[in-house]
Structure 1
C-alpha cells in the first residue's frame, strides 16, 4: 500500500466475536485479507518498516529544497567576489545545508508515513471485530500489540488449547428448546477441531516419556468426545420425534 494512502480498507468477512470457536475461522481469513493490503508484517513485527517506504519519499526531497531556498535565500547566496577557494568552501557549506534539509525531510516524512500505515493497519484490525471484543482492547493503539493481545486471549487460551478443558467444555453442549441445531452442531465441530490442535504438544522438544505421558493422558478424550456428542445429538433428535430410535443391537 502506498505510504500516502489516506483511506483505510476494511475487513470483509465474519467478524471475531467473544466465542472462542470463531477465532479459528477468523484468523486465516483475516491474515489473507491483511496480506492483500500489505498489513500483515505490522501485526508480526513491532519494528517493521516497509522496505520501499523511504524510496517512495525521495521524489519530494528536491521540492522541499526549493521551498527552503524561497524561505531562506541567504543560506544559498554565493558572493561573486569570493576567491576560488572561497567559492569552493561556500558551495560546500550550501551542499551540506541541502543535505541536511533532505535528511530532515526524509526522517520527518518517513515517520509520518509509517505512523499513517500503522494507523491504517490498526483500523483494519479493529474493523474485523465485533464491538464487544473491540472494547476489550480499546486502549491499545499499536497494531502489533493489538494482534498479539488477540492471539494471547483466543489462540493461547486454555479454552482452545488444553485437552482437559476442552473435554469439560464439550460436556456443556446441550440442547434447549428453541436452540438452532445448526449452531449446536457447529459448536460440536469447532470443539472437535480444537481437540486436534490441542493434541499437538506445546513444545516438540520433549522426551519420549513426556510425550507418552501427554498422549496417554489425553488421547481417550479425543476418541470419546465426537461419539459422545453424536450420541447426544441423536438422543435429542429422537426425543423431539425427528429421528427413529436405533434397535438395541445397533446401539
Structure 2
C-alpha cells in the first residue's frame, strides 16, 4: 500500500497553503480600488477611521505576496532537506565531505568542523544527525564538547585529548615520566600546577589517566588501555 512520508505530506500541505494564499492575494488585489475609494470618501467628509474600520480593512497585496514568498522559501527548504535525506545519505555533497573528514581524522570535534565548513551550526548539526541516524558516524561528549567519530572506533578520549595542545602535551609528558607528580608535570609542560591539576581531573574523569596518592603526593599515569592505544598511534605515525 502506498504511503506518504511525514516530510512529503508536510510539503504537500505547505504547497496547498501557498495556492490558497495566492488566490487570496489575487482577490485582495482586485478589491483594493474599492477600498481606496472608501478611504477617499472618509477623508472627503472629514471622518476618521475607527479602530473597528482598521481591523475590517483587508491586508494589502504586498503583505500577502510577502507571505507567499515566505511560503515558497519554506517549500524550497523542506524539499532540499527531503532530497538530501534520501536513500543514500552520502549522495549529498556536503554530507559526503563531513563523513570523509570524520573517518580520515578518526574523530573530530564539531567546533573544528564548524571552522572548516562555513555553514550555520544548525545546518551542520542536521547533516551530522542524518549521518548518525544512518549508522555512519557516532557522537559523544568528551571534555565538555561534542565529538564525532566513525562507528565502533576506540580511543576517542585519547584522540580528543591529543587534539588540544595543552592536554596533549600533558598526556605525552605523563607517558614519558609516569608515574609523575603534579609539580613535575607543571615543570615539564611549563604550566602552573593549578592548570595541570585542572586538566588531570578531566583526564581522569574521561578514563585517560589513573591517579594514586602516595603519602602527600598524587601520582598520575596512563590507563593501561590508553597506553596501548598511544603506542599504536605513535607506531602508525612513524614513516
Normalised-by-shorter TM-score class: 0.3 to 0.5
Superposition TM-score, scaled by structure 1 size: 0.32
Larger % of strand: which? 2
Structure number with greater CO (CA < 8 Å, separation at least 6) is 1
